[in-house]
């Protein structure tokens, strides 16, 4: 009995050790085809990916390098010129993951899995800061709203003139003739003179109802005239001090706008009736803006901020408005066994403030 117990104990111990070794080996074989080298597609633009003397720098690779180092993972970078090219390789199971500013969207979740976001991005607008031309400064005066206001004002004058004529034409036919056209015209003239406080004295109501109408019109016209004059003055002042900067997406309706191919900004611009001009790189889109071939450039805010900080170009302006907020994450095949480990490592990286340090360095935040 003692021998059998010793035999079973030795057998059980050896079996447990072999199982543990197999488990460790399986954990190390994280790459494609059971290898221990992870194939990492890398793509994106500055500041998330910067190619420098054969080395990959930027927010995304530095975060991944930290994670892979702590996990003791072997990996090999495979560069792609476009995000869509990397996604195509991933869905064809040629990669283990993609490292870069990959937007987490509902459409992409049908073909791949994502890590938790390592950066929360949004779309922003960059435009020129050109001085306005004379026509651009006076154009607001000729707006449809102003013409509608003038039309409404003429209708009100017609009503007031008619009321003056009804109240006065019998008692004061010399001022308000019985002919409705002449009488109402004189009534409108009295309304204008009263509103402007000119007071020529050539026309004046003599009946009780005429004076009541005149008194009411004085009070109403003071408020109305003051508001209208103040509105026109403020419009002219803002126009004279303004520039050609774009502050919101509504200003880009039916305007030519440049963005990067395969970017979520394309769908966003189409939803707002902008005429989309696609380019391969951000600097190409900015060149179109400087050449005045497009009204603005719409793209991911961090990339635009990095470009402006790097170039120190005072001719360009980035609007404060942010749209289409989305997260950047690492992308994996649907059946990947890396997602959990990467998510946990990303959380630890963020908790240690390493993610924030890297982002602040490249985006030059205080």
From 221, 241, 261, the end of a domain falls on 241
pLDDT score recorded for residue 27: 44
Residues 301 and 344 in one domain: no
* Range from 238-242, 298-302, 357-361 carrying the lowest mean pLDDT: 238-242
Residues 234 and 298 in one domain: no
Within a domain: residue 143? yes
Average pLDDT of 246-261? 92
Within a domain: residue 270? yes
356 pLDDT more than 80: yes
Mean pLDDT of the chain: 83
320-331 tens-digit pLDDT? 999 988 899 999
pLDDT band at 132 (very low <50, low <70, confident <90, very high): low
CA distance 133 to 326: 37
What's the number of domains the chain is made of?
Answer: 3
Residues 217 and 116 in one domain: no
Residues 332 and 291 in one domain: no
33 pLDDT more than 80: no
Residues 257 and 295 in one domain: yes
140 pLDDT more than 70: no
Average pLDDT of 64-74? 95
Q: Residue 50: which domain range?
A: 2-121+327-363
CA distance 44 to 98: 10
Average pLDDT of 262-278? 91
- CATH code of residue 285: 3.40.190.10
pLDDT score recorded for residue 10: 57
84-119 tens-digit pLDDT? 899 999 999 999 999 999 999 888 999 999 999 999
From 223, 241, 259, the end of a domain falls on 241
More confidently predicted of 71 and 198:
71
pLDDT band at 333 (very low <50, low <70, confident <90, very high): very high
Average pLDDT of 192-213? 79
Residues 187 and 217 in one domain: yes
* Range from 157-161, 230-234, 315-319 carrying the lowest mean pLDDT: 230-234
From 208, 225, 241, the end of a domain falls on 241
Integer-rounded Cα Rg, in Å, for the chain is 36
Within a domain: residue 126? no
Residues 156 and 103 in one domain: no
Residues 353 and 288 in one domain: no
15 pLDDT more than 50: no
Within a domain: residue 291? yes
Residues 100 and 144 in one domain: no
Instruction: List the alpha helices (DSSP H) in the chain.
Output: 2-28, 59-71, 83-91, 134-138, 144-168, 180-195, 208-241, 265-271, 282-290, 301-311, 339-351, 354-363
Residue with tokens 């019985």: 178
Within a domain: residue 146? yes
Residue with tokens 């900080």: 309
Within a domain: residue 127? no
278-316 tens-digit pLDDT? 998 899 999 999 999 999 999 999 999 888 888 877 789
Within a domain: residue 233? yes
**Which residues fall within 8 angstroms of residue 314, CB to CB, at 6 or more apart?**
129
pLDDT score recorded for residue 13: 57
């Amino acid at each position: 009995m003692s021998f059998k117990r010793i035999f079973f104990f030795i057998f059980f111990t050896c079996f447990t050790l072999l199982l543990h070794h197999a488990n460790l080996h399986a954990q190390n074989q994280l790459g494609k085809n059971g290898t221990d080298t992870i194939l990492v597609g890398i793509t994106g633009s500055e500041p998330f990916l910067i190619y420098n003397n054969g080395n990959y720098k930027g927010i995304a690779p530095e975060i991944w390098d930290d994670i892979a180092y702590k996990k003791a993972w072997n990996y090999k970078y495979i560069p792609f010129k476009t995000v869509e090219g990397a996604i195509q390789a991933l869905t064809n199971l040629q990669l283990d993951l993609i490292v870069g500013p990959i937007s987490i969207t509902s459409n992409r979740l049908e073909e791949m899995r994502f890590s938790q976001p390592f950066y929360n991005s949004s779309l922003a607008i960059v435009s020129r800061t050109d001085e306005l031309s004379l026509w651009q400064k006076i154009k607001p005066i000729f707006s449809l709203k102003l013409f509608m206001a003038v039309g409404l004002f003429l209708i009100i004058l017609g009503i007031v003139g008619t009321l003056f004529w009804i109240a006065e034409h019998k008692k004061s036919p010399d001022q308000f003739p019985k002919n409705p056209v002449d009488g109402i015209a004189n009534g409108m003239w009295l309304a204008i003179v009263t509103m402007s406080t000119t007071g020529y004295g050539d026309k004046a109501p003599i009946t009780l109802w005429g004076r009541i109408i005149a008194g009411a019109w004085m009070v109403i016209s003071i408020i109305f005239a003051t508001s209208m004059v103040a509105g026109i003055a403020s419009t002219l002042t803002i126009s004279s001090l303004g520039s050609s900067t774009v502050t919101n997406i509504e200003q880009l309706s039916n305007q030519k706008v440049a963005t990067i191919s395969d970017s979520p900004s394309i769908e966003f611009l189409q939803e707002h009736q902008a005429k989309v001009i696609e380019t391969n790189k951000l600097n190409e889109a900015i060149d179109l803006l400087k050449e005045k071939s497009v009204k603005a450039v719409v793209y991911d805010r961090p990339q635009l901020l990095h470009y402006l900080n790097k170039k120190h170009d005072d001719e360009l302006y980035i609007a404060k408005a942010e749209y289409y907020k989305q997260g950047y994450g690492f992308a994996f095949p649907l059946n990947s066994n890396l997602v959990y480990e990467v998510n946990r490592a990303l959380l630890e990286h963020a908790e240690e403030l390493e993610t924030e340090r890297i982002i602040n360095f490249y985006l030059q935040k205080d």
